[in-house]
Amino acid sequence: MYKFEYALTEDDYLEFNKHFQRTSTSQQRAHAINRFGLPIICAMLGFYLQHAFEGTMFWVSIGVLVVVSLIWLMGYTRLVLQPMMRRMIRNLKKEGRLPFGEIEIVTFNDSHIHKATSVGERTVAYTAVERVDSTTNATYIYIGSMEALIMPHRIFESDQQRADLLRFIVGA
């Protein structure tokens, strides 16, 4: 049996959201549409401008559209996604609906995982674990396609304890 008591931070939750954005096929598809939508609109606008302007004005317009498209493509994550996630957390915090509690108590016993927070309690059988992902800062135990237990690596006494827990979950 393993028992962990820890506090999640906003950065832990943001890191999980970034990981989810990178690994979810539906999120990748949605972001591809958002990321490439503006450049496609700029290209269509360029074809329109070809008929509206002639000579130098046309090439200046095309240059501006290319620059805007490149900035959008290169800075989409930093300019759009990260501020959007921070705004979401700020709004959830303001409304008192953060999806994580101040203190999380997660217990792994022989038959299930039990998570207790100030927000509520949840007991999940190991058969509900869909996958386990590990990053440099945390381990995510997915118990649904969009829900995971966030286990920051700072809560483990050692890398060996983390490895033992992962073997325990996979073997349960």
**pLDDT of 85-102, one tens digit each?**
788 778 877 877 666 667
Please tell me the predicted confidence (pLDDT) of residue 101: 65
CATH topology of domain 2-9+100-171: PH-domain like (2.30.29)
Domain ranges of the chain: 2-9+100-171, 12-95
pTM of the model: 0.70
Coil, helix or strand for 71? helix
Helix (H), strand (E), coil (C) string for 14-28 = HHHHHHHHHHCHHHH
Q: What stretch of H or E contains 88? A: helix 82-95
Question: What's the maximum distance between 2 C-alpha atoms anywhere in the chain?
Answer: 75
Residue ranges with strand state E in the chain: 2-6, 104-108, 112-116, 121-125, 131-134, 138-142, 148-152
